[in-house]
A and B are shown apart, each in its own frame.
Chain A
């Protein structure tokens, strides 16, 4: 079975409009979190938010941008960056695949056009409503841009969707269905309805008086996640294909593990047993030992239950040797984009041999599983890394772990 390598990275996040600026901000420990400025925010219990640092529509041709939902726009921008970064591989379009996961796709379009319907009637609803709201809209927009004809796919698995996109692309290349795949996730659904829904679940932080410190993975005072938006896409290639064209290789996508809790619709299994299974499966797939994993970019959204369950999963599957980074402390939770953006951070950690510091984990949770982890807090840590892991979990019980090894 051929290795699959990473040759291009693209992202737009609350920390920056591209990979380089997002990564630089992350290593400096800067926060991408602020306060909602919209009028509707006043009545929201949670007003802290991870807005994109760079407005996507300003970087897309105006006529094209007005035909794309915001989540399609961010996917398109990340794809353009990743594709250029990979050196625009010359690949037979029938051997190029796209896999872009999302949590809710074009929810903003659906909600906006519902307002139009209510206020002005069905004849005023935009004819672009359907292509803008469909969950496969982001992947289709990327496929169209790149002319990908080997298949364009859309895993929809809530907050695991971006990681699942990368895991599925690995399968596609290994199965011989594509030589190159552009894979990851995209999300942009900052709107009163999703925010009200998450708030009613008590899932969102309400630390409105201190937005930069609202996202507190593993901290005693954590009170929920901060909603963010963004996109992250990577270019994956069969290793021999990449080498033949002299591509720059960031890392090897050595393995992926996927499991499902099938325990509760939204609550994680309290011991993280199935999350641990995903991690073990990823290690087995990669053919490496747990002790070789030097760094984990964790899911850690800063919900009271989730962080502890994840700590348990990591301890049971990997032990306590890996340096842990909870980067949502700076980006917020980009839902279906988060796993892909964090996979990019994991790849860059391997490249630069550095683990980003987790912010706001000032007073670690007393739970012994959290206490046992080597959580890098505050400043980033230089360290020798050969293998690193990224895990992501989503409502619906989805667990995905990705293992990257140094190029």
Chain B
């Protein structure tokens, strides 16, 4: 089980790889689309990378509800097995 901090760090790495977001900018309150300029196609790529890294699949309808970095961290934390 990854800790909140490990999830936060891992997600920041994914964001940097897929969308070029600097790790320092990937803070919990940031909105993917409004603050980090991550588009919907990149969100799908991020979801795939999250599944690879944390073993947590994000269904499409859940992905639509994930607005901020913090939302994603919480979702991964709750659903990891």
- Partner-B contacts on A (CB < 8 A): 61-63, 123-124, 126-128, 131
For the complex formed, measure the closest distance between the CB of B62 and the CB atoms of chain A, giving whole angstroms: 14
Interchain CB contact under 8 A, B20 and A124: no
Given A124-B48, A128-B45, 13 more A-B residue pairs with CB atoms under 8 Å apart are A61-B20, A62-B20, A63-B18, A63-B19, A63-B20, A123-B48, A126-B45, A127-B41, A127-B42, A127-B44, A127-B45, A128-B41, A131-B41
Q: Which residues of A contact B48 (CB under 8 A)?
A: 123-124
Number of B residues contacting the other chain (C-beta, 8 Å)?
Answer: 8
Instruction: Name the 3 nearest CB pairs between A and B, nearest first.
Output: A63-B20, A127-B44, A127-B41
CA distance in complex: A123, B44 (Å): 10
For the complex formed, measure the closest distance between the CB of B25 and the CB atoms of chain A, giving whole angstroms: 14
Judged by DSSP, the binding face of A is helix
Interface residues of B in 9-43 (CB under 8 A from A): 18-20, 41-42
CA distance in complex: A404, B19 (Å): 44
**Chain A residue nearest to B52 in the complex (CB):** A124
Q: Which residues of A contact B41 (CB under 8 A)?
A: 127-128, 131
Some 5 contacts from A to B, beta carbons below 8 A apart, are A61-B20, A62-B20, A124-B48, A126-B45, A127-B45
Q: Which residues of B contact A127 (CB under 8 A)?
A: 41-42, 44-45
Q: Which residues of B contact A63 (CB under 8 A)?
A: 18-20
CA distance in complex: A131, B41 (Å): 10
Count of inter-chain pairs, beta carbons less than 8 A: 15
- Partner-A contacts on B (CB < 8 A): 18-20, 41-42, 44-45, 48
**Chain B residue nearest to A61 in the complex (CB):** B20
CA distance in complex: A234, B41 (Å): 32
**Chain B residue nearest to A64 in the complex (CB):** B20
CA distance in complex: A62, B41 (Å): 17
Q: Which residues of A contact B45 (CB under 8 A)?
A: 126-128
Q: Which residues of B contact A126 (CB under 8 A)?
A: 45
For the complex formed, measure the closest distance between the CB of A128 and the CB atoms of chain B, giving whole angstroms: 6
**Chain A residue nearest to B16 in the complex (CB):** A63
CA distance in complex: A18, B60 (Å): 43
CA distance in complex: A200, B52 (Å): 40
Q: Which residues of B contact A124 (CB under 8 A)?
A: 48
**Chain B residue nearest to A66 in the complex (CB):** B18
CA distance in complex: A279, B35 (Å): 55
For the complex formed, measure the closest distance between the CB of B18 and the CB atoms of chain A, giving whole angstroms: 8
Q: Which residues of B contact A131 (CB under 8 A)?
A: 41
**Chain B residue nearest to A128 in the complex (CB):** B41
For the complex formed, measure the closest distance between the CB of B63 and the CB atoms of chain A, giving whole angstroms: 11
**Chain A residue nearest to B20 in the complex (CB):** A63
CA distance in complex: A127, B43 (Å): 9
CA distance in complex: A62, B44 (Å): 18
Q: Which residues of A contact B42 (CB under 8 A)?
A: 127
For the complex formed, measure the closest distance between the CB of B48 and the CB atoms of chain A, giving whole angstroms: 7
CA distance in complex: A123, B60 (Å): 11
CA distance in complex: A298, B47 (Å): 50
CA distance in complex: A61, B45 (Å): 18
CA distance in complex: A131, B45 (Å): 14
**Chain B residue nearest to A124 in the complex (CB):** B48
Q: Which residues of B contact A62 (CB under 8 A)?
A: 20
For the complex formed, measure the closest distance between the CB of A69 and the CB atoms of chain B, giving whole angstroms: 14
For the complex formed, measure the closest distance between the CB of B20 and the CB atoms of chain A, giving whole angstroms: 4
CA distance in complex: A225, B41 (Å): 39
CA distance in complex: A63, B21 (Å): 9
For the complex formed, measure the closest distance between the CB of B52 and the CB atoms of chain A, giving whole angstroms: 10
**Chain A residue nearest to B47 in the complex (CB):** A127
**Chain A residue nearest to B57 in the complex (CB):** A123
CA distance in complex: A124, B45 (Å): 9
